[in-house]
Amino acid sequence: MKQRILNFDILNVVACFSVVCLHCNGFVHSFIKDDWWWLRVLIEVACFFAVPVFFMLSGATLLDYRKKYSTKTFFKKRFTRTFIPFLVWSALFYSLSFITKGTEGETWREVVTNISIGKIPYTNYWFFIPLFLIYLFMPFLSLMSGSMKEKQILYLCLLLGFFQTLLPTVLYLSNIHLDMSLPFGSYVIYVFLGYYLAHSTIETDKRWMMALGLLALLSMVGRYILVYQASEETPEVFSYLGPYAVFPAIFIFLLFKKLFKGDKCAHPFWESLSSKSLGVYLIHTALISVIGKAIHREEVLFIPVAIASVYLLSVVIVHIMQKNRLLRHLVP
């Protein structure tokens, strides 16, 4: 029987809810600075940790999969749990788009290309593509982590963080155009961070927690100022590898570990809600589109109404589907 970890379940739910908040607040990307611009930016900045945390949870729970089952079983589980639902829902939403809007000149090659990058109508599925790539490399990443000491994993995280987070930020602020990206990197840093932080005891050191909390707050304030003043979306301010994503994600991951580590047994409520997060992610953007027909997204009322109704309705729909013997495979 799979052993549940309470702080992982709660963090999973909080991250899922934050993703819903981000997508309900999607009008922020229009950069129309109305009277509620400050609120839109605040939600964008406060919830930005969600995606990095999801990758960290993947590292914390899957990087040592060899202790629980074989690589063949690992791929079988990932294939049935994520890849099949991704394909089925992509096909369903594309079909719905063709029925309601027509093909709009899209060729089958363009459809295949869009699916391969997660650009699906009514959705925001880009997250699945780097996740699938991480799954493909997980056997090798698992071997790496299994043969490395804790300090070596920390060094790897620091090295990846330097080239993917610190250096690009310094170059951007210095207005220096220099590509120092690594061929090995991207969201892998969060996989190793999640694994390292899950096995470390950093959260027990008050000085480290205060320092990380301060770094998280300062990076979020800095991003708030940059987004508030921006007139368009730039990779330097909206990248999930920026310090404004890394530091808050690290602090929140450790904070939940510290708050709930003492609880050895999983709670049925959080376990149940956590088990619905993937299903919520799969369907929630379609519900946002439906609500957008009734309330214009530029209206500030849309944000609280959409956040509350979309998340709750998504949970209810996923719960009903999981009770059905056939439909539950679409929202595992």
Of residues 49, 7, 93, 70, the one with CA closest to residue 267: 7
pLDDT at 73: 95
Residue 51 contacts residue 30 (beta carbons within 8 Å)? no
Of residues 294, 311, 293, the one with CA closest to residue 122: 293
pLDDT at 102: 65
| d(C-alpha 271, C-alpha 120), whole Å | 29
pLDDT at 170: 83
pLDDT at 179: 66
CA-CA distances (angstroms) from residue 177 to 166, 181, 183, 242, 310?
14, 12, 18, 16, 41
Which stretches of the chain drop beneath a pLDDT of 50? Answer: 1
Q: Any idea where the domains of the chain sit in the sequence?
A: 6-117+137-330
pLDDT at 1: 44
